[in-house]
Structures are given as structure tokens and as C-alpha cells.
């Protein structure tokens, strides 16, 4: 897909992987909707960065756990830019809970995580699909995690939610072709403020050092390396759908 002139929605793009992806797509000529649920200032800064570099973007507040807000988010892109071609389902939520602490996993914890990670991915894709079909082509990229493959990560519900995204990618890829391709990336440890805040600085730095030493590519994922993997599914891999690429420097080998 030629990115120039295309319309893209990137959920959860006020920071981290989402912001890096929004900025990368805009740098290639896409008109980008920067979505946020809470961090308005971060979204404003992302839009300012894009427009200062000559790109086109605007910010839209929407909680992807709510179907009506997902539909409004997509409609904002179509109404503003005349169509929709690219959707990156990056918005995510978690609770940092030790896996052995089963009693800490309340009904609310499950609802918080599943409603954003799983339902949000489905709601946004469903809302986007008719517009992509009308455009004659579309690319959806979901952001999962190696936690969804190996069962690790910040909590058991988080791992389950990311596994669900990987399977949903297969299901959606099957039913939305041939016009729409649906693929997924599964990052490992990502060097972001969000992860550092959840883990605490000491644990974060220790894990980063250990993974950097052990990974075959001697490092950890960054927002930019994740954005590059997402771009590959949008721009280059035009005969691939339903697939998940692990972005972890080879750590899971």
C-alpha cells in the first residue's frame, strides 16, 4: 500500500508505540487521527510534532472500550479526510499483578483489561471495515504482546487478552479479505515510560539490562522498532493476512 495520501487511525497514540507509529505514518504522507482516552496533552504534542514536520493530523478523544466512541472515532477520520485506509489497534490497558496472586484478579480487573484490549480491537475494526471496503483496500494492524504467546507479562488477564488479540487477528483476517488485510505484532519488553511506571525503575532497569544481554540482537524493543514492524504490515506485506510477528530481538527463540 502506498502510504502517501492515505487516511490512518492509530488508537492510543498520545505516547509510546502508538505515537511513534502515528508520526511514522504521517512522515510518509498519511493523514493521521491521533487517538487518546486520557492523555490530552500527549495527543496535542503528537499532533504538533506531526504538523511541524509538514504532516497532517488531528486528535480525537475516544475510549475504545465503548463501541459508540469507537464508531465516532472512525467517523471523525472519514468526515475530516474523506475515507479510511489504515487502522492500528494499539490502545491497551493492564494491571500489574504478580501471577501467583490469584485473589488480586478481581472482576473489575478483568473488565478493565478485556474491554480495552479485546473488545476495543474488535469494535474499532468493525467500525472501520465498511469504509476500507468502500476505499477498495485496507490494512489493520493489531498490537498484542509476547505475553499472549508465552503467558507471561504484567498479569494473567493481560496475557489472556493479548492471546485473544492474536486469535482475533486470524478470525478477522479470514472474514475481511480480500480488500482488508489484518495482521498483528507481538512485542516483548518495550523501553517506554509506561512500562517503567508499572514495573518501578529498579525492576525495569534490571530487566532491561538482562534482556539486552541475552537477546540475540542485544537489545529491547522501542516504540520506533515496533512502529517499523507495523509499517511493514501496512506498506510491504501485501499478500499477508492473519499473521503475528514477534518483535523482541529474538529473546523468545
Of residues 36, 81, 123, 158, which has the active-site annotation?
Answer: 158
CB contact at 8 A, 103 and 25: no
Our answer to whether residue 81 is catalytic in this structure is no
Provide the annotated active-site residues: 158
Amino acid at each position: 500500500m502506498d502510504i502517501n495520501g492515505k487516511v490512518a487511525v492509530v488508537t492510543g497514540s498520545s505516547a509510546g508505540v502508538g505515537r511513534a507509529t502515528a508520526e511514522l505514518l504521517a512522515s510518509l504522507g498519511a493523514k493521521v487521527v491521533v487517538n487518546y482516552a486520557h492523555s490530552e496533552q500527549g495527543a496535542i504534542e503528537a499532533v504538533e510534532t506531526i504538523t511541524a514536520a509538514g504532516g497532517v493530523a488531528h486528535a480525537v478523544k475516544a475510549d475504545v472500550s465503548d463501541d459508540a466512541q469507537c464508531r465516532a472515532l472512525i467517523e471523525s477520520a472519514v468526515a475530516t479526510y474523506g475515507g479510511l485506509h489504515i487502522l492500528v489497534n494499539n490502545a491497551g490497558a493492564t494491571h500489574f499483578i504478580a501471577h501467583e496472586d490469584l485473589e488480586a484478579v478481581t472482576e473489575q480487573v478483568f473488565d478493565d483489561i478485556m474491554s480495552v484490549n479485546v473488545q476495543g480491537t474488535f469494535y474499532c475494526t468493525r467500525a472501520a471495515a465498511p469504509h476500507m471496503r468502500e476505499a477498495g483496500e485496507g490494512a489493520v494492524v493489531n498490537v498484542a504482546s509476547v505475553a499472549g504467546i508465552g503467558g507471561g507479562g504484567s498479569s494473567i488477564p493481560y496475557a489472556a487478552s493479548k492471546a485473544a488479540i492474536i486469535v482475533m487477528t486470524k478470525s478477522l483476517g479470514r472474514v475481511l479479505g480480500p480488500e482488508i488485510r489484518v495482521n498483528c505484532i507481538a512485542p516483548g519488553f518495550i523501553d517506554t515510560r509506561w512500562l517503567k511506571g508499572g514495573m518501578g525503575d529498579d525492576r525495569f532497569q534490571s530487566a532491561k539490562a538482562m534482556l539486552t544481554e541475552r537477546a540475540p540482537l542485544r537489545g529491547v524493543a522501542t516504540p520506533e522498532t515496533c512502529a517499523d514492524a507495523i509499517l511493514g504490515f501496512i506498506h510491504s506485506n501485501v499478500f499477508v493476512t492473519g499473521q503475528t510477528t514477534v518483535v523482541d530481538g529474538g529473546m523468545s527463540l
